[in-house]
Structure 1
């Protein structure tokens, strides 16, 4: 394999001249042509990463995700790749499994290799490892430093879930959510849900699990067992003064699927006995029918907004949090139809009155 020294010798110039040609430095046109002919003749391969590191831009962006088992993160990754490619950037995927040590390692790796920046979903205590020397955009997690956060409108999403359950006939509501130890936007789903219930005098109860209690709804038998036992206690009126819930809001679609399975094992039918709303708007194979009725958030929009924020940070611009990206209610068959009193006819088209209703 030819080296830069081979190119210099063949072209009759110094190594420095070859380097200037490769990196766009000042070189006479005659010498440039000689070097380019030698590069082509010898088949010399330019080290693109090394060249870009010398110019302080690598065109690589580190993307830190907890996992890609969850289709939400897979869709988010796809959206990030599309958005980054529009800026001629490429993602370097780092899977953290939610572990602080891994996230720290990835942040330090990004800094050492002078990547252009990081877009991360992290719920660990890593703030002390972040500073102004590395552009960082956080998704669904606020940091106290000058790090922009991008998220859908989680507070409105929680209200929308409660409203849709109530409008569809649920009279006693239950929230089930996993809460991370660090402050994040996802917590606002509970605030919005409870706020709507209290404003409208709807009986409700809330179940919250820590990330240690429910580390994963995908593979943890103990977590699913805990969810099932607590849910059964509520459905048997052992933990509520309001009677058995007939409407449940789950903090994620995957949690909603687990709850639906548990309800069916108890002999309850969804949505006839208990209506169920999840969050994220996931679909079978990412393109088919929705898992459950859900609050849909556009991963493509979240990704594009995050990348746009990162590009602005890299250009030295001030960037504010964007935590009000639009969300809509998506009917997935685990809620009853709206009653006729909540539907109006306009120009021959039946339109739900509810704000944020998904009409696709």
Structure 2
């Protein structure tokens, strides 16, 4: 693939001259312009958007780093971010870190080299904070440092609403399955409400492997084998809740008569399950719009270190 240096060499001019021709900046003779354009045509050279934006000292690119492209939540996040970015004439560079701190660091270096306007982090790692100095960075559904603005939903209230709903449906033996992505605030909200009600409950933590593979079947089967009295399950994501419903079907447990299940996120999957999944709705569209606006308004407005948006209960057939 030809580079701007190849064009400059073929046209017998400097790289700076080629850049000025491409961006129509400064005075250049028509003869020079013609030589450069002819060289570009003969080499079939097409300037990248990054190169053009650098020459204009601006960029239309935003970096987004997610821990998984397979998880439905992140699919919806990327879709919403792209929509709200495109309204402002921005484009996304999406990076899949796969919950690997080394990959995340490499992607941050790549995004910085491409002079992105900012980075939206959906990952948990705190190792890269130093490398993000002087670059607009926002975390989405994550909080890694007081110095990095975070856009979050009210996770604590979400956990509390989930417990309250299961209690209101008559559940006496509750369990929360906490996946790799969810906030500790969800656990705290759930735990506090259960303690207030003096109800039997426990919280189990899924492994990194289970999160990466989106496979929680062994964990869920073990739960119901070890504690057959479970009658209410709060899953920290709709993906986990979907697998709880699957396994209950296989074990002959009727939902919602014998076991009631509630998830978190309210992704499209929740409406497609049978029975349809009750869940805690987090405003993905609003979260993503706020993250984009924080990056875009970085120099113009005073930034909040923590923006928290409300959640709500969506009751469907699983409870």
TM surpasses 0.5: yes
Name the structure 1 match of 2:303.
319
Question: Would the alpha carbon gap of residues 47 and 334 (structure 1) be closer, same or farther in structure 2, given more than 3 Å must change?
Answer: closer
Does the 8 Å CA contact 1:63/1:119 hold for their aligned counterparts? yes
Does the 8 Å CA contact 2:40/2:46 hold for their aligned counterparts? no
Q: After superposition, give the CA deviation of every residue in 1:145-197 in whole Å (9 maximum; x if it has no partner).
A: 521111111111111111211222223322221357xxxx7111111112222
3-state DSSP class of the match of 1:307?
helix
Counterparts of 1:165 and 1:37, CA distance in 2: 73
Q: Aligned match of 2:248 in 263, 274, 280?
A: 263
- Structure 1 segment 14-33 matched on structure 2, within 5 A: 19-20=19-20, 22-27=22-27
The count of corresponding residues between Structure 1 and Structure 2 is 311
Name the structure 2 match of 1:109.
110
Name the structure 1 match of 2:267.
282
Range with bigger deviation, 94-103 or 251-260:
251-260
Counterparts of 2:276 and 2:38, CA distance in 1: 55
What TM-score, normalized by structure 1, do the two folds share? 0.75
Counterparts of 1:125 and 1:205, CA distance in 2: 32
Counterparts of 1:36 and 1:334, CA distance in 2: 69
Q: Aligned match of 1:214 in 202, 210, 219?
A: 210
Question: Would the alpha carbon gap of residues 129 and 210 (structure 1) be closer, same or farther in structure 2, given more than 3 Å must change?
Answer: farther
Q: After superposition, give the CA deviation of every residue in 1:43-68 in whole Å (9 maximum; x if it has no partner).
A: 57444321212333331111111112
What TM-score, normalized by structure 2, do the two folds share? 0.84
Question: Would the alpha carbon gap of residues 231 and 20 (structure 1) be closer, same or farther in structure 2, given more than 3 Å must change?
Answer: same
Question: Would the alpha carbon gap of residues 256 and 20 (structure 1) be closer, same or farther in structure 2, given more than 3 Å must change?
Answer: same
Does the 8 Å CA contact 1:253/1:291 hold for their aligned counterparts? no
Larger Rg: 1
Does the 8 Å CA contact 1:67/1:97 hold for their aligned counterparts? yes
What is the CA-CA distance between 1:318 and the residue it aligns to? 3.5
Question: Would the alpha carbon gap of residues 234 and 22 (structure 1) be closer, same or farther in structure 2, given more than 3 Å must change?
Answer: same
What is the CA-CA distance between 1:334 and the residue it aligns to? 0.5
Counterparts of 1:41 and 1:226, CA distance in 2: 62
Counterparts of 2:97 and 2:209, CA distance in 1: 19
Name the structure 2 match of 1:198.
195
What is the CA-CA distance between 1:306 and the residue it aligns to? 0.9
Does the 8 Å CA contact 2:180/2:208 hold for their aligned counterparts? no
Does the 8 Å CA contact 2:271/2:277 hold for their aligned counterparts? no
What is the CA-CA distance between 1:325 and the residue it aligns to? 1.4
Q: After superposition, give the CA deviation of every residue in 1:272-321 in whole Å (9 maximum; x if it has no partner).
A: 0111101111224x8756851111112221211111111122x2644213
Does the 8 Å CA contact 2:180/2:211 hold for their aligned counterparts? no
Name the structure 2 match of 1:76.
77
3-state DSSP class of the match of 1:214?
helix
Aligned CA RMSD, in angstroms, stands at 3.2
Confirm whether residue 330 of structure 1 aligns to residue 314 of structure 2.
yes
Counterparts of 1:318 and 1:32, CA distance in 2: 47
Q: Aligned match of 1:231 in 224, 231, 235?
A: 224
Confirm whether residue 188 of structure 1 aligns to residue 172 of structure 2.
no
Counterparts of 2:36 and 2:82, CA distance in 1: 35
- Structure 1 segment 103-142 matched on structure 2, within 5 A: 103-142=104-143
Counterparts of 1:178 and 1:228, CA distance in 2: 15
